[in-house]
């Protein structure tokens, strides 16, 4: 299913045949990169994950294996499917490993300068017809695409966390993205069992335009003493029927990622309503990034996690 409310730029009845995608490169072996590798491998695609940190790669492989075991235990997949998928995943620390990729999905840290320097180093290793998708949560696809040698083959493919569980992929065309690229990415998303929604290229697209300001507002409520961590999360879980409280969700996403998204909204839309909460800034400055660093609005060294305020 595709929820395309606005076909936007690049729709042409004369569009060329979209390229077939069999080999996928993934840049960034964090929580998103490992989730994307997981679903691509289960769909029978060959996957190479590249990260600058070798330990991030070994951690990603362990996470994928553990999450697939969980799916086997719940009879979501067979053990044969798990074994075949794990064989499809390769890792590397150099972009030269992506020379045969049909599509590279970049899922590195949410910082524009990091992504730009990745594309600069990456593109000389790619075959000319290789597509590039960014999993960015907020940054302009048009601007990122323009920093590559192939803006027409560049697109936003925004997976949700955790990737094996969440059904949605937002697809975002930059102004230069061509129709075959758009069609190829839509086809791939459907092959992965996902439902796509098309967003225009505005800061933070659809999901995070709505979700992350809510998390930021929850941090303001904490900062101003409206309620404790527990009171705020309990209120939204039981009062608004959200499966996770907003502070718990911020920790799950990563507070650095939430802050980067608020900065993109604040600067991109020039509206003070998107001002990042100073307490969110302070947590990120302290390295308290949420689950991935062991501490955020909760301390994850305790079971169950203990509120930190």
Ligand X SMILES: NC(=O)c1ccc[n+]([C@@H]2O[C@H](COP(=O)([O-])OP(=O)(O)OC[C@H]3O[C@@H](n4cnc5c(N)ncnc54)[C@H](O)[C@@H]3O)[C@@H](O)[C@H]2O)c1
Indicate which residues carry an active-site annotation. 137, 158, 170, 208
Please state, in angstroms and as integers, the Cα–Cα distance from residue 52 to each residue in 118, 185, 294, following that order: 10, 26, 21
Long-range contacts formed by 256-262: CB under 8 A, 24+ apart = 256/109, 256/110, 256/284, 256/289, 257/110, 257/137, 258/212, 258/215, 258/216, 259/284, 260/110, 260/111, 260/137, 260/138, 261/110, 261/137, 261/138, 261/204, 261/208, 261/212, 262/212, 262/213, 262/216
Shortest Cβ 124–ligand X spacing (Å)? 15
> How many CA atoms, within 13 angstroms, populate the side-chain half-sphere of residue 192?
30
Rule CB under 6 A: say whether 53 interacts with ligand X. yes
Rule CB under 6 A: say whether 28 interacts with ligand X. yes
Rule CB under 6 A: say whether 215 interacts with ligand X. no
Query: Angle at Cα 213 formed by Cα 208 and Cα 217, nearest 5°?
Result: 150
User: How many residues bind to ligand X according to rule CB under 6 A?
Assistant: 28
Q: Based on CB atoms, which residue is closest to ligand X, 109 or 235?
A: 109
Place of tokens 């490169």: 25
Binding segment for ligand X (CB under 6 A), chosen from 84-92, 110-118, 124-132, 197-205, is: 110-118
Query: Which residue of 10, 18, 25, 30 would you call a contact of ligand X, by CB under 6 A?
Result: 30
Q: Both tokens of residue 176?
A: 């230069």
Interface mask (CB under 6 A) for ligand X, residues 231-270, using x and -? Answer: ----------------------xx--x-------------
Cα–Cα distance measured from residue 3 to residue 231, given in angstroms and rounded to the nearest whole number: 36
Q: Based on CB atoms, which residue is closest to ligand X, 48 or 137?
A: 137
Q: Hey, which residues between 270 and 289 contact ligand X (CB under 6 A)?
A: none
Rule CB under 6 A: say whether 211 interacts with ligand X. no
Cα–Cα distance measured from residue 304 to residue 68, given in angstroms and rounded to the nearest whole number: 24
Shortest Cβ 90–ligand X spacing (Å)? 15
Shortest Cβ 219–ligand X spacing (Å)? 16
Cβ–Cβ under 8 Å, residues 181 and 154: yes
Shortest Cβ 42–ligand X spacing (Å)? 18
Cα–Cα distance measured from residue 240 to residue 223, given in angstroms and rounded to the nearest whole number: 21
Rule CB under 6 A: say whether 107 interacts with ligand X. yes
Shortest Cβ 236–ligand X spacing (Å)? 18
Rule CB under 6 A: say whether 110 interacts with ligand X. yes
- Applying CB under 6 A, the residues found at the interface with ligand X are 27-33, 50-53, 56, 107-110, 114, 118, 135-137, 158-159, 161, 253-254, 257, 292
């Amino acid at each position: 299913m595709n929820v395309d409310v606005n076909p936007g730029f690049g729709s042409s009845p004369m569009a060329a045949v979209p390229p077939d995608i069999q080999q996928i490169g993934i840049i960034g072996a964090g929580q998103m990169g490992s989730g994307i590798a997981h679903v691509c491998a289960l769909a029978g695609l060959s996957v190479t994950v590249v990260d600058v940190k070798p330990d991030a790669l070994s951690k990603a492989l362990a996470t994928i294996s553990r999450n697939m075991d969980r799916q086997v235990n719940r009879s979501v997949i067979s053990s044969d499917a798990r074994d075949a998928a794990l064989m499809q995943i390769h890792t590397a620390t150099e972009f030269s490993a992506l020379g045969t990729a049909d599509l590279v999905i970049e899922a590195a840290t949410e910082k524009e300068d990091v992504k730009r320097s990745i594309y600069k180093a990456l593109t000389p290793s790619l075959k000319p017809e290789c597509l590039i998708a960014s999993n960015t949560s907020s940054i302009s696809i048009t601007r990122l695409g323009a920093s590559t040698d192939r803006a027409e083959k560049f697109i936003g493919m925004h997976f949700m966390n955790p990737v094996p569980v969440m059904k949605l992929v937002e697809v975002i065309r930059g102004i230069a993205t061509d129709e075959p690229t758009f069609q190829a990415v839509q086809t791939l998303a459907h092959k992965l069992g996902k439902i796509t929604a098309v967003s225009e290229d505005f800061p933070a697209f659809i999901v995070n335009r709505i979700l992350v300001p809510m998390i930021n507002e929850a941090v303001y409520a904490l900062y101003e003493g409206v309620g404790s961590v527990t009171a705020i999360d309990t209120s939204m879980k039981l009062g608004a029927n959200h499966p996770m409280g907003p502070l718990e969700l911020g920790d799950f996403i990563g507070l650095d990622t939430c802050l980067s998204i608020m900065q993109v909204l604040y600067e991109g839309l020039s509206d003070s309503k998107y001002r990042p909460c100073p307490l969110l800034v302070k947590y990120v400055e302290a390295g308290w990034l949420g689950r991935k660093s062991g501490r955020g609005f909760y301390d994850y060294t305790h079971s169950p996690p203990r509120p930190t305020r």
